[in-house]
Amino acid sequence: MIKTKITSLVVIGLILAAGAVVLIATIIMAPEVAATLVGTTAKLLPATFIAA
């Protein structure tokens, strides 16, 4: 049980880290695309936590 929770936290951490990198790159290149990504991420995050 504890191992599963730790694994879930690691996966969520990796997803957030990857998202941050993409977001930073996108903000530099195209702010309007970044706004769309933020909206999409906000919709996906709750599903990620439920799945974990």
Banded pLDDT at 11 (limits 50, 70, 90): confident
**Which residues touch 22 (CB under 8 Å, ≥6 apart)?**
37
Nearest Cα neighbor of 26 from 15, 14, 38, 17 is 38
Domain parsing of the chain, residue ranges: 2-51
Banded pLDDT at 9 (limits 50, 70, 90): confident
Specify the DSSP class assigned to residue 21.
H
| pLDDT tens digits, one per residue of 16-47 | 888 888 878 877 877 777 778 778 777 777 76
> What pTM was computed for the model?
0.44
Banded pLDDT at 49 (limits 50, 70, 90): low
Q: Residue 1, SS3?
A: coil
